Amino acid sequence: LDRYVRGQEEHLRKEEDIVIPIARQVLAAADWEDIDRAFHAHRDPFFGIGAAGPIGSLIPRAVGPT
């Protein structure tokens, strides 16, 4: 379990430190809208159903106000 948790933490850290900053630089508003629509339709078995799940919509938190 500890190894799994560490792996998840590292995965999230890479997203926050590497992926999201690059995405903020290269994606346009329309790209984020497409991503947000896809996320809303996604059903995650661990974190709930799309934006209705406990993690909510990640896009506004990732890019901030547009």
- Residue 44: the pLDDT is 63
Cα→Cα distances 37→13, 18, 42, 54, Å: 24, 23, 9, 17
Whole-model pTM: value is: 0.56
At 18 the pLDDT is 94
Q: Looking at the DSSP assignment, which residues form a beta bridge with residue 48?
A: 44
As averages over each run of 10 residues, the pLDDT of the chain (66 residues) reads: 88 90 92 84 62 56 56
In this prediction, residue 60 carries a pLDDT of: 57
